Amino acid sequence: KILLDDEYDFFNQLQIGIIYFKQKEYSNSFNYLLKIKKKNSHNFKVFLYLGNFYVTQEKNPEKAKKCYLKSFELNPECKQAGKSLSDIYMALKDWISNEKLLKSLTKTFMETNSYQLHWAWMQLGLHYSAIENWDNAVANLRTYIRLEPTDVDAWEALADAYYYRGSYTSAMKCY
């Protein structure tokens, strides 16, 4: 596909902004990303990296949340945007929004069998652990482990959920 001048310019500026971000030249990255956002507000990566900037540099979870939400709306299969949005909800203790987001993702996974969304089960298990709903934490972590049986972090989270639920033998097996 041949890129038109505006598309080519947009693509190049986006790449430069991402490279600056990865090189930890955050102010340069931020300037490029803002310029790109004004030209084309329909690219999920722009909002993803702006969200990353607001989390790492500005320590502003509210602005980061808006960026991740926009990124995720533009590309619902972007794991990084969805997971970052869930992390922000958890940091803000916005349990209702987080549960709603993750339940919709697991429902979509069940309907479409889109493997790209399987991470949502782990996040939902961690969500339920954070609010001490151990039965739901166990159920969701077990679902995730069926999909990712070698994920040691998931096994540890499941063991913790079993332990706090009072299922000590199951917890020992998981540990």
For residue 170, the model assigns a pLDDT of: 97
For residue 41, the model assigns a pLDDT of: 84
pLDDT top residue among 26 and 5 = 26
> What is the CB-side half-sphere exposure of residue 40 using CA atoms within 13 A?
17
Over range 4-28, report the average pLDDT.
Answer: 82
Residue 146 has pLDDT above 90, yes or no: yes
Residue among 88, 30, 42 at smallest CA distance from 63: 88
Is residue 160 classed as helix, strand or coil in its secondary structure? helix
Q: CA-CA distance, 42 to 45, in Å (whole number)?
A: 9
Residue 57 has pLDDT above 70, yes or no: yes
Q: CA-CA distance, 28 to 101, in Å (whole number)?
A: 32
Q: How confident is the model at residue 8 (pLDDT cuts 50, 70, 90)?
A: low
Residue 79 has pLDDT above 50, yes or no: yes
For residue 76, the model assigns a pLDDT of: 85
Is residue 3 classed as helix, strand or coil in its secondary structure? coil
For residue 1, the model assigns a pLDDT of: 41
Over range 1-25, report the average pLDDT.
Answer: 76
Q: How confident is the model at residue 2 (pLDDT cuts 50, 70, 90)?
A: very low
pLDDT top residue among 151 and 13 = 151
Over range 54-76, report the average pLDDT.
Answer: 94
Amino acid at 158: L
Over range 87-114, report the average pLDDT.
Answer: 90
What Cα–Cα distance (Å) separates residue 126 from each residue in 65, 97, 105, 109, 119? Answer: 19, 14, 15, 18, 11
Q: What is the pTM of this model?
A: 0.82
For residue 86, the model assigns a pLDDT of: 96
